[in-house]
């Protein structure tokens, strides 16, 4: 399951490019709007569908206002999937500290069935001898932050012109860059963002230079490994599902 239109449109590209075995499997990508993957919990558990839930961390301050994630700020997530299904955590500090293996929920009564959540993680960027950490809150700003060079060289059109300006103005300050992208993406049409990328792929800027956000790549690798493991045991769940929340 995925959270938005942009993920639903671009994840197939990342699978084709980087996950050969997964690309040969039957994977259903389901877009679930409004961070509502948790509403499908009982159905997925009843059917035993191996599931990757790609969602947003949805950070908010003490007043419930959406803000860019920060550590040591007593922020909380507004994402019901993360609060009530897995990993059942409320604090942003706790969610950002969880290692990949703890994002998996196993079901002992159904050994080959499990679910995994994938949401934004700290972005570590090396600039010369300096290592910086930034935090993102959506698929789109994560994609930009982890592909600074790609978006710095992309054609000046529509939202990409604003993105390139933000990179030029704040590239040396990752925290400010993250904050600018948070505001920019929230005021933009996310579906158009992905469609424009796909259009530029055919026109001038191939998507081959675009790297999948690490949190999504980790989730897709897990899904590929689980499907391979299940096939080797000759007992599948026959289908896997990726859910995308909005």
DSSP 175-231: HHHHHHHHHHHHTS-HHHHHHHHHHHHHHTS-GGGPPPPHHHHHHHHHHHHHHHHHH
| pLDDT given for residue 21 in this prediction | 94
Q: Is residue 32 a contact partner of residue 245, using CB atoms and an 8 Å limit?
A: yes
Q: Is residue 49 a contact partner of residue 241, using CB atoms and an 8 Å limit?
A: yes
* Residue 241 three-state SS: strand
Question: pTM (2 decimals)?
Answer: 0.91
The more confidently predicted of residues 64 and 237 is 64
Cα-flanking dihedrals φ and ψ of residue 59, to 5°? Answer: -80, 145
What does the block give as tokens for 50?
Answer: 């191996």
Radius of gyration, alpha carbons of the chain:
18
Residue 77, pLDDT above cutoff 50: yes
Q: Nearest 5 degrees, angle CA 223-CA 102-CA 82? A: 85
Please state which of the ranges 3-12, 156-165, 205-214, 226-235 shows the lowest mean pLDDT: 226-235
In this predicted model, what pLDDT tens digit does every residue of 166-205 receive, in sequence order? 888 876 677 788 888 888 888 887 778 888 898 888 777 8
The stretch 30-51 carries a mean pLDDT of 88
Residue 60: DSSP 8-state:
E
Strand ranges (E), 123-164: 123-127, 130-134
Percent of the chain at pLDDT > 70 equals 92
Residue 220, pLDDT above cutoff 60: yes
Domain positions in the chain are 5-245
> Cα separation of 135 and 66, whole Å?
14
Residue 89, pLDDT above cutoff 70: yes
| pLDDT given for residue 123 in this prediction | 92
Give, for 202, the enclosing helix (H) or strand (E). Answer: helix 190-203
Please report, for residues 12, 95, 221, the alpha-carbon distance to residue 124 in angstroms, rounded to integers and kept in the order given.
Answer: 25, 17, 20
Nearest to 148 by CA among 119, 124, 129: 124
* Residue 216 three-state SS: helix
Band of pLDDT at residue 157, cut at 50, 70 and 90: confident
The stretch 11-20 carries a mean pLDDT of 95
Cα-flanking dihedrals φ and ψ of residue 95, to 5°? Answer: -65, -40
Compute the residue count for the chain: 246
Cα-flanking dihedrals φ and ψ of residue 65, to 5°? Answer: -85, 135
- Mean model confidence pLDDT for the chain: 88
* Residue 25 three-state SS: coil
What does the block give as tokens for 48?
Answer: 């035993």
């Amino acid at each position: 399951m995925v959270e938005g239109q942009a993920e639903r449109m671009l994840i197939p590209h990342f699978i084709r490019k980087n996950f050969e075995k997964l690309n040969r499997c039957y994977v259903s990508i389901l877009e679930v709007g409004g961070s509502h993957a948790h509403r499908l919990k009982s159905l997925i558990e009843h059917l035993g569908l191996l599931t990757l839930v790609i969602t947003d961390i949805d950070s908010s301050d003490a007043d419930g206002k959406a803000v860019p994630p920060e550590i040591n700020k007593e922020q909380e997530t507004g994402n019901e999937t993360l609060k009530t299904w897995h990993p059942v955590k409320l604090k942003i500090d706790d969610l950002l500290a969880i290692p990949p293996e703890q994002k998996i929920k196993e079901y002992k009564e159904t050994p080959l069935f499990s679910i995994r959540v994938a949401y934004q993680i700290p972005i570590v960027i090396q600039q010369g001898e300096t290592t910086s950490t930034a935090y993102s809150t959506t698929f789109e700003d994560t994609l930009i932050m982890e592909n600074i060079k790609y978006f710095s060289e992309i054609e000046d059109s529509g939202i990409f012109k604003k993105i390139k300006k933000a990179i030029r103005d704040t590239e040396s300050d990752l925290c400010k860059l993250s904050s600018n992208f948070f505001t920019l993406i929230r005021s933009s049409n996310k579906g158009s963002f992905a469609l424009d990328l796909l259009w530029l792929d055919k026109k001038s800027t191939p998507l081959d230079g675009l790297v999948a956000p690490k949190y999504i790549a980790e989730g897709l690798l897990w899904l590929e490994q689980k499907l391979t493991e299940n096939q080797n045991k000759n007992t599948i769940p026959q289908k896997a599902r990726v859910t995308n929340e909005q």
